[in-house]
Amino acid sequence: MESLGYDAAHQQAEYIFRTVLPACGMTVREGQIQLCHAMLDSLYNKEVTLCDAGVGLGKTYAYLIACLLWQWQRPREQWQPVVISTASVTLQDALLQQYIPFLSNALIQYGYIDEPAHAVLRKGKERFVCDARLEERRKQIAQRGEAFARRAALLRAADRYLDLDRVAGLSRYDRQHICVPNRCDRQCGAWESCRYRQYVRASNGPTITIQICNHNYLLADAVHRQKGWNPLLRDYQALIIDEAHCLPDAAQQMATRRLSVQKLTQLAEQLARAHHPYAAQQVQTQTRALAAACILNAPAEGKPRRAFAITDASATALAGMQKVVTQILEREHTRLPHHLQNQLAETKELAGRFARPDDSMIRYIEIAENGESVSLCAVPRDLPSQLYDLLWKREKPAILTSGTLAAGRDFDYTARRMGLRDGVPVNTLQVPSPFDYPRNAMLYFPLRPDVGNCSKEAQNERVAGQIESLVRSACGHTLVLFTSYDQMGHVYEQLEGRLPYPMFKAARGGQRFVEQFKQCPNAVLLAGGPCWEGVDFPGDVVSLLVIVRLPFPVPDPVREARRERYPDLHSYIQAEIVPEMQQKLRQGFGRAIRTEQDSCVVAILDERAGIGGKYHDAALAALPTCPTTEKVEDVQQFIREQKHTDYFL
């Protein structure tokens, strides 16, 4: 353990949380202080710590203060920035615009530091404006006249910002044509004045205390380091991973290799625009053959992901693609732009990868719901080992934190998925939310119906009736979370015209309806997907949270491959499926109470979660302790006792 400044750092943490921050309007929370001390220990001991921090605990300030105190106690010559990796842009913006400025001002005021902590946001090149390409694109649009006035205005806005994410409304096509390219030419006329180069130099400067990025960028940097390429991040001395429950999915997304019919079609179009019509025709012909073979390969099960097996049709299509690409590269490589050469070479490599057996990869076919997009996908069978090699093998201290790292009271599932295997010193800490759930929350499980197996239509009608009864008891103010958009659509149709409150349905990409719901005093929102986590509904907006089904993961080839590690189905379900459900259930429950003044009823309609149900104990183990009921009358009574008069007007 590094002893330098250890005691001083812990003493300063106590003073900051108990004196400095309360003087700036913050509440003293013992759990938050406990969390900060554990994080300091992790940094000094060069360990990995998994911190499950309940909603409202203030984990962000805990890890920021731990990092800053640890840095200040180290000799200046040992200073390197820390990296904070997040899953969401919302948290990145909050760190840069709220948390770090507030904390810096408080610490300057009390004489801890002389100047603010310097933080920088690191993102991929495709997220920034290339001045030279922007000027070229503006000239192209200007020549097209008034019909393109709106696009011209957006491009002028891009001139004011370096970060493309700040230019709302810019089309994907324009973004692709004005972003910083993968390789910059030193002969570029804007080389010396390039804003992106200035941003990179500043980001790597000696005054930077904190580098902020997303999980994908962190993993991409780790890949660069592993392969001996130039790192994307400046060398750092510690790693903070917030929203850490999202890291394994980010790793899987990055590690997945795809041979996409959509991208192959785009490649053919690019070849045609680059004046290689015969090559374009060859690629397009083989793409159609591959798409047909993929669809024949995948049985019509209605699932977006289906196992891939090499058949005569797929082998022929893949061999044909390899042959065609080889011919194009041999025939026209001197006339092909570098980016097209690279795309063709990657296509050839991927076609070869899918054409031969490979036990190290899990391979599947992904078909979009509309059937227009088909991809062959391959993901490493042992992703946790890859995460170990990328992140933990370097033996830097790391703090992984989230409100849902533990499944129930257990961290084993998370540690396995993270690749935190034997040899990595790992500590775990679960600190509950400071909210008074026994007083401000109630769990409702409906009486289990004695109807046996019934049709989907009857099930949806029963769910609609349960929701209607609950919504009337709560006088609106309801968020209903679904695991199936199809079921959500049917239930919405059943409820239309039956509720005396405004009702919204947030289908895929329905952020507009989420915002409308927040503006209504007593509305009902039916939602899925993104609304299970990361969306804030403070106050009385959500006073009734309805979870229609337990959020068990949808079976897919990747999960089926994990099943092979277990001796039987029961062992697999208990070790993999139930913990994943519990984490997602906790995320959904977290939408209910967001501040200490909030109160909410959480209704779980899935009969498997009800009292006496197969997963009742698993559901309770995932959630805070609070009173339960099977009576709708108790829901109504709870709302009457908890809410002020204005709530019912």
Tell whether 243 is covered by a domain: no
To the nearest whole percent, how much of the chain has pLDDT over 70?
A: 97
Residues 187 and 212 in one domain: no
Residues 512 and 365 in one domain: no
Task: Calculate the CA dihedral of residues 549, 553, 554, 558 and round it to 10 degrees.
Answer: 180
Q: Which pLDDT value is given to residue 347?
A: 96
Q: Which pLDDT value is given to residue 507?
A: 79
Tell whether 242 is covered by a domain: no
Tell whether 552 is covered by a domain: yes
Distances (CA, A) of 553 to 174, 254, 295, 573, 635: 37, 20, 24, 11, 29
CA–chain centroid gap for 573, Å, is: 24
Tell whether 345 is covered by a domain: yes
Tell whether 388 is covered by a domain: no
pLDDT above 50 for 121: yes
Residues 24 and 47 in one domain: yes
The pTM score is: 0.92
Average pLDDT, the chain: 91
The neighbouring-strand residues paired with 365 are 306, 376
Q: What would the two tokens of residue 455 be?
A: 């049709």
Burial of 19 (C-beta count, 10 Å sphere; 0-12/13-18/19+): exposed
How many Å is the Cα radius of gyration of the chain? 27
CB 33 within 8 A of CB 16: no
Encode pLDDT of 591-627 as tens digits: 999 999 999 999 999 999 999 999 999 999 999 999 9
Q: Which pLDDT value is given to residue 568?
A: 95
The tally of domains found in the chain comes to 4
The residue among 148, 172, 197 that closes a domain is 197
Q: Can you tell me the mean pLDDT for 73-93? A: 88
169 pLDDT tier (thresholds 50, 70, 90): confident
- Longest distance between any two alpha carbons in the chain, whole Å: 79
Q: What would the two tokens of residue 36 be?
A: 């900060």
370 pLDDT tier (thresholds 50, 70, 90): low
SS3 at position 181: coil
Encode pLDDT of 418-472 as tens digits: 999 777 889 999 999 999 999 999 999 998 876 666 788 999 999 999 999 999 9
Residues 557 and 628 in one domain: yes
Residues 151 and 69 in one domain: no
30-39, 99-108, 200-209: least confident range: 200-209
Distances (CA, A) of 66 to 53, 61, 233, 335, 573: 15, 8, 21, 56, 38
CB 365 within 8 A of CB 317: no
Distances (CA, A) of 391 to 353, 362, 418: 26, 22, 10
Residues 112 and 130 in one domain: no
Q: Which pLDDT value is given to residue 547?
A: 98
Residues 112 and 131 in one domain: no
Q: Can you tell me the mean pLDDT for 355-364? A: 91
Backbone CA torsion sign across 10, 12, 15, 18: negative
Residues 418 and 457 in one domain: no
Residues 165 and 108 in one domain: no
Residue type, 533: E
1 pLDDT tier (thresholds 50, 70, 90): very low
To the nearest whole percent, how much of the chain has pLDDT over 90?
A: 70
The CATH number of the domain holding residue 213 is: 3.40.50
Number of C-beta neighbours around residue 271 at 10 A? 25
Query: What gap in Å lies between CA 297 and CA 183, rounded to an integer?
Result: 38
The secondary structure of 284-295 as a DSSP string is HHHHHHHHHHHH
298 pLDDT tier (thresholds 50, 70, 90): low
Q: Which pLDDT value is given to residue 11?
A: 95
Query: What gap in Å lies between CA 145 and CA 158, rounded to an integer?
Result: 19
Tell whether 329 is covered by a domain: yes
The position carrying tokens 């991929």 is 124
Tell whether 386 is covered by a domain: no
CB 86 within 8 A of CB 242: yes
Residues 509 and 526 in one domain: yes
Residues 47 and 148 in one domain: no
Q: Which pLDDT value is given to residue 3?
A: 57
Q: What would the two tokens of residue 549 be?
A: 């089904």
Q: Which pLDDT value is given to residue 185?
A: 76
Q: Can you tell me the mean pLDDT for 118-137? A: 92
The CATH number of the domain holding residue 269 is: 1.10.275
161-170, 228-237, 505-514, 533-542: least confident range: 505-514
Query: What gap in Å lies between CA 589 and CA 532, rounded to an integer?
Result: 8
193-202, 303-312, 325-334: least confident range: 303-312
Residues 104 and 132 in one domain: no
Range of the domain at 427: 6-118+207-237+396-431
Tell whether 146 is covered by a domain: yes
153 pLDDT tier (thresholds 50, 70, 90): confident
